[in-house]
A and B are shown apart, each in its own frame.
Chain A
Amino acid sequence: MSAERAAHSSTSSHAASSHASMRLIDDYARGGTEMAADTVWALEAHLETCAICRGRLAASVATEAPGTAALVDSVRAALGPQLDTAVRMPSRRYRPSRLPAWTTSVTVPWLAMTVIVTVLALLLAAAGAPTAAGGVAPALLIAPVLPLCGVAAAWSRALDPAYELTASTPRAGLPLLLRRTTVVLAVVLPALLVEGWLTGAMTAAQWLLPSLAFTSTALALGSVVGVTRAAAGLAAAWCAVVAAPAWGAGRVPVVLRPDQLPLWGALLVLGTGAVIARRRAYSLL
């Protein structure tokens, strides 16, 4: 039997379309019980995927099964008033999900703040601040610690409302922190680059290495005291020890001269090494 069926179907499968026959659909629409079980099964599976056969079934219902057709019409009639009063669920299309899940909700505001600080420094330079302070660009003084603003928010308990959830995910820890830090750098560094190019007061060599060194140091210290505290502490120390005196004196600070670059490079390597050595310490938030 099965061999015969298989042979039969293999010959007919070449010629025939893969749609159900009208007679079969009529039988199905009438709800007859004489159909073979496997045929019904195949037909129902087919109808679920084939719009054409559903259309033919609809036509068949109209002519062959008046009871079902009447049922369809009466359901539609009763449905009308209910549709008017039904409370509709908000569509998932309009739910705000523009940010990837691994960012924190404060990512955008903090990055915006960082960019605004950059722009303000630019405006300050354009407004003639250099004459008041003796020729040192304000942007140059804040550039090394500017990424720290974003890094402070990247791994913070106070600034991440979902920090408990974040800390419990498998991706939590250093990978997530590095990802968020990368986002910060990807926004801040181009902004600084554009600013340096616009003002002409600082070259990338002057601030790029220091800002990277500060970022890695903040991450390294973060494994001990918390990233937010480390970033805030470093920024405060920079402002108090280097930026404020340089601003007052109107000179480019010693540590930002090109001959100090090996020092910054060493700090960057040291910070990165410390982060790698303490990579297990970031699972806490």
Chain B
Amino acid sequence: MRSRRRALDELDEENLLRLVARGDRRAFDELYSRTSPWLAVRLRRRCADEQIVAEVMQETYLAVWRAAGAFAGSAVGGTAVGWLWTIAARRLVDAFRRRAHHAEPPVAAAERAAVPAAEDEVLAKAVGGDVGDALRQLAPELRQVLQAMVLDGLSVRETAVLLRLPEGTVKTRARRARIAMREALA
């Protein structure tokens, strides 16, 4: 019992998901306690309505419990966490579809003038120094579209629901954002 608990701590998310697929509730609890704060924070940054976030998280983890066996895993080059986010992002869009009028508009990130810390600079290299500059100089409404489509992996239609914009506007803004990024990086 004791060694089993320690073994669960040492597993990565993919292996936990494999255990969940076999109906292991303790593996599910472990997966939940590891990933739910991350998912909650990430969802809350995209949706100010706490009720919708709670609903989306509940649906997401229920889907994980029911369909963990469908996760093809590292065999197709996907991570368990990425899979989780894909489910959550889709559920968020669905929740917006269901009751669009409840949702607050997504928070537009304000500009920040302070000099970033060294670690943040290193981290920003994941996006790239020049790319980071270009992203920051992008108009907020263009950046939102780019974030939803690139970082969150949503389609044009889903982005339109999430940002409550017409699809045509999303397409236009995505194109303008791409052009702006290209010019900034040229």
Q: Please, what's the 1-or-0 string for A86-98, where 1 marks a CB less than 8 Å from any CB in chain B?
A: 1111111110000
Inter-chain CA distance A82–B62, complex, in Å, is: 8
Give the secondary structure class of A's interface: helix
Chain A residue at smallest Cβ distance from B60 = A75
Q: Please, what's the 1-or-0 string for A239-271, where 1 marks a CB less than 8 Å from any CB in chain B?
A: 000000000000000000000000000000000
> How many residues of A are counted as interface, with CB atoms below 8 angstroms from the partner's CB atoms?
66
Q: Which listed residue (A31, A38, A62, A92) contacts B127, Cβ 8 A?
A: A38
**Does B77 reach chain A (CB closer than 8 Å)?**
no
- Counting chain A CB atoms within 10 Å of each CB, which of B67, B72, B82, B132 scores highest? B132
Give the secondary structure class of B's interface: helix
**Does B13 reach chain A (CB closer than 8 Å)?**
yes
Asked if B119 contacts A39 (CB within 8 A), the reply is no
**Does A171 reach chain B (CB closer than 8 Å)?**
no
Q: Please, what's the 1-or-0 string for A66-110, where 1 marks a CB less than 8 Å from any CB in chain B?
A: 011101101110110011001111111110000000000000000
**Does B12 reach chain A (CB closer than 8 Å)?**
yes
In B60-90, the 8 Å CB interface with A consists of: 61-62, 65-70, 72, 79, 81-82, 85
Kindly list chain A residues whose C-beta atoms are within 8 Å of the C-beta of B21.
91, 93
Kindly list chain A residues whose C-beta atoms are within 8 Å of the C-beta of B44.
31, 68, 71
Kindly list chain B residues whose C-beta atoms are within 8 Å of the C-beta of A55.
34
Kindly list chain A residues whose C-beta atoms are within 8 Å of the C-beta of B175.
none
**Does A277 reach chain B (CB closer than 8 Å)?**
no
Query: Least Cβ distance of A165 to chain B in Å?
Result: 22
**Does A169 reach chain B (CB closer than 8 Å)?**
no
Among A43-51, A116-124, A205-213, A228-236, the stretch that binds chain B is: A43-51
Asked if A83 contacts B130 (CB within 8 A), the reply is no
Kindly list chain B residues whose C-beta atoms are within 8 Å of the C-beta of A37.
109, 135-136, 138, 140, 143, 147
Asked if A71 contacts B151 (CB within 8 A), the reply is no
**Does B35 reach chain A (CB closer than 8 Å)?**
yes
Interface residues of A (CB under 8 A from B): 1-2, 5-6, 8-9, 12-13, 15-21, 23-24, 28-29, 31, 33-49, 51, 54-55, 57-58, 61-62, 65, 67-69, 71-72, 74-76, 78-79, 82-83, 86-94
12 additional contacts (CB under 8 A) given A9-B121, A42-B132: A2-B129, A6-B130, A24-B123, A31-B45, A36-B112, A37-B138, A38-B127, A39-B124, A45-B151, A65-B41, A86-B66, A91-B68
List 10 A-B pairs, Cβ < 8 Å: A13-B121, A16-B118, A31-B45, A44-B42, A47-B38, A61-B40, A65-B41, A68-B37, A88-B66, A92-B69
Interface residues of B (CB under 8 A from A): 12-13, 18, 21-23, 25, 28, 32-38, 40-42, 44-45, 50, 53-54, 57-58, 61-62, 65-70, 72, 79, 81-82, 85, 107-112, 116-127, 129-133, 135-136, 138, 140, 143, 147, 151
